[in-house]
Structure 1
């Protein structure tokens, strides 16, 4: 039994997110094609490396876009939660690819540092400027949603790090053009790749916790149990589970042993009080309580499989 508090989601907002993702996908496809052609013509491994990063962005944005569309699908008898976890799964995939691309960039940066080559710097400079402008626009499009949505944050991080990689390519192009310093691009790429791993790992860890149904870090289970136990009619709270379904839903289920054999209407009143308590203090918006009276089970086990 439980009460579902309202969620502040609208189709208009989801449509806007989808549109922004689609624009970012098209921009990155254009940037990738331009960088591949430019890298081949100029002989720049830096541009080809950045093109690889951009291509990974295209794939990650497509995953995010599909996940955003799936979340709009309604639940069914075979999918009782619908596709509410699609965006979490997308964040996990994107974080994983972010780390993989970073490792590839580090390998490429080390190889380039050992074997610096003179390249056509003018083409590198202009194409990196185009990539910075394109990715910068995409970053601005996704920035607001990235603050509240794990899937959008993963897409945002891909684009932001690629924009920074393009800045590194631009700096390298300028130094190569005016000072013939060819090794600086490798150093900058290495630093950006380390930053990419750091950001990707944090998102990978967060999305993994949600997929594994771990209790959110902000939820103090023992404190919640003590607060519910303080209700006069409640004897014991046990067999508690708390998990995060997606960005918007935190679920709590528990067995509650009552002091008396109360009626359903009395239970309903207590249930609403519990729901209000956990929602206002801990943002738990789905509560499922199994009422018990005199049931012979382990009352001292707070958390149990």
Structure 2
């Protein structure tokens, strides 16, 4: 059995991610408290719904923060992969809560359409401005990491959607103040809910694929098999498994049948060539190969349980 891998860690970058998450948590705790009080005093469902979403932000940011810390813990004999999937699990939980919050908001908005109520618009306007500024700052903190880390993307999406919700609430506050269009409060809440589902679904789908060990969408198994078979003296590649462990690691294991009974030193050289090939061409950085010669098993099954 041969195993090789390419990997790297950036602890200072990870510490920076943790600090940015912590700042965002503190900001969102303050926003949530202010919006709950303001929503009750003004009677605004949109403001209360924004507060509920902000509360889900706090929970999601805490989950992301803990996952970020856990992912840095070393592997052990009882946890041979360590906590490398903690951030993927956090992304899944956050995406799921985003959709649940959206459904709750939409149900409440539908009820308010039937019975629109007068809203204290001045308080709505000022508190929505606070939400825009605070969430906007948090979005800027997390934006860079969101493009390369699923956990950070889930936290970023929570904050981005909440900033947009605050913008919608601000616009609604002005419409209620100057035109007394109170049903717009329910309409905005409904639109916020729809947008949350739209944003959360894709992340939920992607994190589910990783947790289920699906082959990454950028990789074609047959193409990898064909390219490895061009390396002499490889005869056949079968029983292939390719999965994504986390944001940074894609693993591949396979059985390789050789044309001749090669030496172990020769196998090591071929393994290095295979490793370099799949890493540079397909981004696979952990390769686990079982060498075979004249073994009685099916060579035609490329993928099997």
2:100 matched residue in structure 1: 100
Deviation at 1:112, TM superposition (A): 1.6
In the alignment, is residue 3 of structure 1 matched against residue 4 of structure 2?
A: yes
Deviation at 1:232, TM superposition (A): 2.2
Where do 1:143-292 residues align within 5 Å?
143-292=143-292
Residues matched between the structures, number: 304
Deviates more, 1:105-114 or 1:62-71: 105-114
8 Å CA contact 2:87, 2:150 repeated in 1:
yes
Deviation at 1:189, TM superposition (A): 2.2
Superposed CA offset, 1:81-130 (max 9, x none): 00000000000000000000111111121112221111211111000000
User: 3-state SS of the aligned residue for 1:202?
Assistant: helix
Which structure 1 segments of 5+ residues have no match?
Answer: none
8 Å CA contact 1:168, 1:185 repeated in 2:
no
1:69 matched residue in structure 2: 69
8 Å CA contact 2:135, 2:160 repeated in 1:
yes
For 1:272 and 1:166, how far apart are their aligned partners in 2? 54
1:41 matched residue in structure 2: 41
Deviation at 1:192, TM superposition (A): 2.3
For 1:107 and 1:207, how far apart are their aligned partners in 2? 27
For 2:198 and 2:106, how far apart are their aligned partners in 1? 13
Deviation at 1:184, TM superposition (A): 1.5
8 Å CA contact 2:244, 2:251 repeated in 1:
yes
For 1:113 and 1:19, how far apart are their aligned partners in 2? 42
How does the TM-score come out when normalised to structure 2?
0.98
How does the TM-score come out when normalised to structure 1?
0.98
For 2:130 and 2:184, how far apart are their aligned partners in 1? 21
User: 3-state SS of the aligned residue for 1:300?
Assistant: coil
Which structure 2 segments of 5+ residues have no match?
Answer: none
1:301 matched residue in structure 2: 301
1:30 matched residue in structure 2: 30
8 Å CA contact 1:171, 1:185 repeated in 2:
no
For 2:171 and 2:186, how far apart are their aligned partners in 1? 11
8 Å CA contact 1:64, 1:152 repeated in 2:
yes
